[in-house]
Structure 1
């Protein structure tokens, strides 16, 4: 008897993802080989992530299912944010030792300004973090070349909740907690306040370009209102750069 397949909702870009028992099944893409190799390297370096389990009889990727609640549904407190910042730092440090296979193909859609320095997850956000007995980032499909600053700016903005409807004082405290947990050097700490708005704007620009060229699934995501969300977030963050600088560089 075939095992029950339970659709997993929540992602904007990954279709046909299901849970089967203690596994997740998803379609193979052109970047799956590179992503699986990177994930295996992260596991070998001691980073707790879903274990790749090969492919099933239908040719789908199999990954370990990690039980728990998504962070976006249970807003992490300041202590948890510090721990999350520390986890992101450990992921980046481990990734520095990883050398991709020649010709590796990646799915990363928003390249960083400047030269990439390591392979990043590129979406270390509340909608990809499982909280429970383990704290585990899932959905590594968008991994690719980036920089610490670009990856951290997106994570910090998302976990701090910096957007047009936010309370800036609460946002500043949350931003400080996750960045303090990451423990950046002085150069990265000084770079982040201005980069937060640049990274949010890049998200809008990617979605808008996809909409103009009817590139799915991002054109649909733009149409659903995410383009307007990111445009407003970028402007709101940009107007408060001094607030973020005070929080991070006090």
Structure 2
């Protein structure tokens, strides 16, 4: 046990998370060693991610604590900010090309991508982006084999605020800013609308099936508002495919 532990809130699937000084400590998972190695490779490539710091005496995963406010507290982000987010994601993906991925069949992915070929964060969303003197994506515990398309589809939908209740034209403009910042090519732009629909539907289906089987923490999240949010988001994204295609053309 380390003294002066401050329990952190906000994580849904990480177990008990505490801050100790300038570090974050959370349970060591089966993939933690590989994720720490991945973070080290990204930092070596010039990407600003939390510094991996190994295990503490209690066997916990230790990474750098990054000061600042979460992007989710400042939504909707402006278009310049969204383009910056897109550039950050592109930098992460490009740097990840140098990282060998493990056999995807040996890696437990909650929402597996088709034909994974790239190590990815898999939760590049406003609740995982610190915006301060540094802009840094945090909470890399779900990192693993995926694809640019699957990872970007989730990020573009969440940062673009493609959710029920948002004016479609405004959401489409935000979507375009993220994808423009990423400098996506034609093939990626064409594939994104359908991928966003598949990704949001997959998130809802995970929560729904978890509620039916008692798979935690997703079962509890389903009944605490996440299920309804993702059900509505999946319908919204699927219903407005033409608007997304037009915005990205």
Does TM, scored on the shorter chain, surpass 0.5? yes
Equivalent residue, structure 1, for 2:12: 12
Are 2:81 and 1:85 aligned? no
Kindly state the Cα deviation for residue 102 of structure 1 after the two structures are TM-superposed: 6.8
- Taking the aligned partners of 1:157 and 1:34, their CA distance within structure 2 comes to 27
3-state SS in 2 of match to 1:92: helix
- Taking the aligned partners of 2:107 and 2:131, their CA distance within structure 1 comes to 27
Distance of aligned partners of 1:110 and 1:185 in 2 relative to their CA distance in 1, 3 Å threshold? same
Equivalent residue, structure 1, for 2:175: 175
Distance of aligned partners of 1:192 and 1:60 in 2 relative to their CA distance in 1, 3 Å threshold? same
Contact 1:54 1:62 in 2 (8 A): yes
1:8-49, Cα deviation, whole Å (9 max, x unpaired)? 111111121011111111110111111111111111111100
- Runs of 4+ in structure 1 off by over 2 angstroms are 100-108
Contact 2:25 2:60 in 1 (8 A): yes
Are 2:124 and 1:138 aligned? no
Equivalent residue, structure 2, for 1:159: 159
* Superposition pairs of residues 201-212 of structure 1, within 5 angstroms: 201-212=201-212
- Taking the aligned partners of 1:229 and 1:9, their CA distance within structure 2 comes to 20
Contact 2:101 2:117 in 1 (8 A): no
TM-score by length of 2: 0.95
1:52-76, Cα deviation, whole Å (9 max, x unpaired)? 1112221111111100110000122
Equivalent residue, structure 2, for 1:248: 248
Equivalent residue, structure 2, for 1:55: 55
Aligned length: 248
5+ residue gaps in structure 2?
none
Kindly state the Cα deviation for residue 3 of structure 1 after the two structures are TM-superposed: 3.2
5+ residue gaps in structure 1?
none
